[in-house]
Amino acid sequence: MTFPQLLSNSWGNKKIKLSKIFVDYLLKLCKQIAHMQARNHIPFAMSWWWLYCLGTDQPIEAVGTMAAAMGGLLPDIDHPKSALGRRIPFISIPLSYLVGHRGVTHSLMAVVVMLILLPLAAFTMDTRIALLVAPVCLGYLSHIAGDAMTPSGVPLLWPNRKRYTVNLFKTTSLMESVFVGVFTISVVILGDIALAVLESTVAKLPLLPVSDHHREYY
């Protein structure tokens, strides 16, 4: 099934209203953060969720897409000037002081903790919220993967502070925007084909340790 087919299945009826609210919100958010790296994390996270929906043959819904986008911003909660950190300074400022930027929130440990805590929280609150667990986690993972493509890398094995990178492009570079743009458009247009290509190429990417720390990015 292709992305447009899934989308028309999901959005063909009463969900249109919700979709419009989501699109309006996203456009507003993109305008506010157009100068920041988050503008790339959002479509990248959404694309990961869409790929997951395509791979599992489930409808693509606005709520899940929005949850993935929020998950894609979540790791930068450790930076007071990130898109999310600026909105909740009472969390981002102490967190950046305690753990620094691109620390534990950009590690596999954070993913494991989230995979444990989010379902627990969801199941004790509302089953509808439980549906947000997968997109938030995938969005979160996409952020770590995205940052791992930059020279600064991420401390995957935190508390070991060694950083790892596949070093594909520099943060805020034109190449980064081109990569995310092509990736997102490929997912939207090609659907299953994009999924197959991705599966065959990801395993071939070399994960290298970062020898010297570059300037820290979002």
Nearer to Zn ion, 65 or 152 (CB): 152
Which of these ranges, 58-66, 120-128, 139-147, 178-186, lies near Zn ion under the rule CB under 5 A? 139-147
Q: Taking each helix axis as running N to C, give the angle between helix 16-32 and helix 62-73, from 0 to 180 degrees, rounded to the nearest 10.
A: 20
Site for Zn ion in 25-84 (CB under 5 A): 75-76
Site for Zn ion in 107-126 (CB under 5 A): none
Neighbour tally for 30: CB within 10 Å: 14
Q: What single letter denotes the amino acid at residue 80?
A: P
Residue with tokens 């065959």: 200
3-state SS string over 44-104? HHHHHHHHHHHHHCCCCCHHHHHHHHHHHHHHHHHCCCCCCCCCCHHHHHHHHHHHCCCCH
Site for Zn ion in 140-169 (CB under 5 A): 147
Nearer to Zn ion, 80 or 191 (CB): 80
DSSP one-letter code for 1:
-
> Measured from the CB of residue 12, what is the shortest distance to Zn ion in angstroms?
36
> Measured from the CB of residue 46, what is the shortest distance to Zn ion in angstroms?
16
Output the CA–CA distances (angstroms, integers) from residue 64 to 39, 46, 119, 177, in the order listed: 18, 9, 15, 23
Residue 176 near Zn ion by CB under 5 A = no
> Measured from the CB of residue 6, what is the shortest distance to Zn ion in angstroms?
29
> Measured from the CB of residue 143, what is the shortest distance to Zn ion in angstroms?
6
Nearer to Zn ion, 61 or 147 (CB): 147
Nearer to Zn ion, 147 or 176 (CB): 147
> Measured from the CB of residue 166, what is the shortest distance to Zn ion in angstroms?
15
Alpha-carbon gap, residue 51 to 187, rounded angstroms? 7
Residues in touch with Zn ion (CB under 5 A)? 75-76, 147
